[in-house]
Structure 1
Amino acid sequence: MWLTLGRRIGGLIIVMLLVATMVFFLTRLAPGDPAALMLGDQATPEDVARLRAVYGLDKPLLVQFGLWLKEVASGNLGQSIFLQRPVTQALAERAEPTFFLTLFSVSIAALIGIPAGVASAVWRGRAVDQIVSGLAMLAANVPSFWLGLILIQLFAVRLGWFPVAGYGDPGAPLADRLGHLILPASVLGLVNSALITRFTRASMLDVLNEDYVRTARSKGVSEARVVLRHAFGNALIPIITVVGLTAALLVGGAIVTETVFGLPGVGNLVVSAVLRRDYPVIQGALIVVAAVYVLINLAIDVIYTLVDPRVRT
């Protein structure tokens, strides 16, 4: 197990290096000069050149990449050009809404998708299966921004149950701020529950046809015990995989939802940085998101060994 884990960590390091390379050079390919954007239309070419020199943007790309990679390796993501503070500080200030939004969204998606997928597999071909499959197909094809606007109009504007947008006053209690995440988390949870439902159904159907399940039924074991212990327990690995991947995708994929609901999260910060060509913020945010993604994948591998002893060998 430890040898396999070591290999996985080595592979993740290589992946992070490739991600860093792609992030740096793809960012530089985007049109626009951050120095020119910062100084405005009235700036002279000399002013732009002077500011570019201050931030090292006048150096060759390979030299910039080497210097940036050295700083990243030491834990320094650089200084934001527009915010005039360290990128790590800017990300930390925006991390709370994104973290809780991801956590709540994955929880909602799992609480909907896993029971729905199990029920659909147990009653395969019946009305329950058809209804669940139809709703999952519908949820998978609904744009998150459209669903967000519908929920805002219904539950925030008409009924007044939830805030329309924002994350509340920074000095407000945490519970009050988290109340602003109910609608956006519901949007992401409903949309992403479709994939979990379909994976859970497929995994359960594979297991329900196994010999040990038929043997348990022939011995008179109750259907609930057969489904929950014998079938569901052995179908967990694909389910854990899809839930983990959903969490990883939500970390970097909640940008549209954060924009619709006006949440001051990492996604909103990245959008602003892209519009301003704030290279350090873009690079730092993408590196952090990629690191979270690979760490979640590593955690999934570790959970495998706890759920299925056969993976340890």
Structure 2
Amino acid sequence: MIRYILNRTFGMLVVMLLVVTIVFVIVRVTPGDPAAVMLGPDATAADIAALRDQMGLNQSLLLQYVQYMWDIVRGDLGRSIFLDQPVLSALADRAEPTFFLTLFSLLIAVVIALPIGILSAYWRGSLFDQAATTVAMFAASIPSFWLGLLMIQFFAVKLGWFPTSGYGGPGTGLMERLHHLVLPAFALGMVSSALIIRFTRASMLDVLGDDYVRTARSKGMGEGRVVLRHALKNALIPILTVIGLTAAVLISGAVVTETVFSLPGVGNLVVNAVLRRDYPVIQGALLIVAGLYVLINFGIDMLYILVDPRVRY
């Protein structure tokens, strides 16, 4: 078990090292002077020279890479050109809406997908199975931002049940802020549930015909216990994998949805940084998202041990 954890930890560190290196190279191979690109066409030669000196672009590539790695180890992701504040601080200020949006979207996706996927596999070939498969394929093809616009038009504008956009003012309570996240969370969660439904159905179909399931039934166990305790437990590894990947995709995929609903999250910050060519913010967000990807996958690997003890061997 310890060897398994050490192997996964080493793999996680290698992936992060590659990501950091790629981010470093991308900025350096950008056509033109990165400092001039960041400051725009109205910048003076003195401004460009000052920014080049601040970013250490006058040093050799090796020294720049070493300094870049050292800054990341110290938690220094640079300073935003437009916001004039540390990138880590800017990302932390925008983290709350993105965190709750991702969490609620994933919760909605799992609550919708797991029961439908299990029942679809159990009633294979039935009208319910065909309807669930059709709806899942249809939901997978719907862009979340388009669904969000439809939900705004119907639930916010026509019915007035939810706010059309925003996250509440500075003094707004937590419940009111969460109320602003209902529509975007459902827009993301319903689209994301399609993939989980398909994987849950396929994984359950693989185990429902196995010998141990037939043995459990022959012993007189109830169908609910057979399906949930025996079949679902042994089908969980691929389901956990796709849920973990869905969580990672939701973190990075909330960019457009946050823009549609005007949420002051990390996604909105990244969109504005791209428009303003604020490269330090883009780099920092890329590193944070990549780190979350790696951590989520590491957490899923650890859950494998709890679900199936054979994994540790």
Q: What SS does the aligned partner of 1:254 have?
A: helix
Contact preservation (8 Å) 2:167, 2:263: yes
Give the C-alpha shift of residue 31 in structure 1.
5.3
- Which segment is superposed worse, 172-181 or 266-275? 266-275
- 1:235 counterpart residue number: 235
| Letter aligned with residue 173 of structure 2 | P
- 2:172 counterpart residue number: 172
Cα deviation, 1:67-106, whole Å, max 9, x if unaligned, reads 1111001222122222111111111100000100010000
- 1:223 counterpart residue number: 223
| Letter aligned with residue 130 of structure 1 | Q
- Which segment is superposed worse, 186-195 or 278-287? 278-287
| Letter aligned with residue 16 of structure 1 | M
Contact preservation (8 Å) 1:34, 1:276: no
Contact preservation (8 Å) 1:110, 1:196: yes
Gapped regions of structure 2 (runs ≥ 5) = none
2:221 paired with 1:251: no
| Letter aligned with residue 232 of structure 1 | L
Contact preservation (8 Å) 2:28, 2:34: no
Give the C-alpha shift of residue 278 in structure 1.
1.8
Contact preservation (8 Å) 1:33, 1:277: no
User: Could you tell me the TM-score, scaled by structure 2's length?
Assistant: 0.94
CA 1:138–1:13: 2 relative to 1, 3 Å: same
Aligned length in residues: 313
Q: Identity percentage over the alignment?
A: 64
CA 1:276–1:299: 2 relative to 1, 3 Å: same
- 1:204 counterpart residue number: 204
- 1:275 counterpart residue number: 275
Aligned structure 1 segments of 4 or more residues deviating by more than 6 angstroms: none
Q: Structure 1: how far apart are the matches of 2:271 and 2:31?
A: 15
Q: Structure 1: how far apart are the matches of 2:237 and 2:309?
A: 11
| Letter aligned with residue 281 of structure 1 | V
2:187 paired with 1:187: yes
CA 1:185–1:29: 2 relative to 1, 3 Å: farther
Contact preservation (8 Å) 2:140, 2:194: yes
CA 1:42–1:288: 2 relative to 1, 3 Å: closer
Report the aligned-residue RMSD.
1.8
CA 1:86–1:47: 2 relative to 1, 3 Å: closer
Q: Structure 2: how far apart are the matches of 1:178 and 1:229?
A: 34
CA 1:267–1:33: 2 relative to 1, 3 Å: farther
CA 1:28–1:145: 2 relative to 1, 3 Å: farther
Give the C-alpha shift of residue 136 in structure 1.
0.2
Contact preservation (8 Å) 2:27, 2:34: no
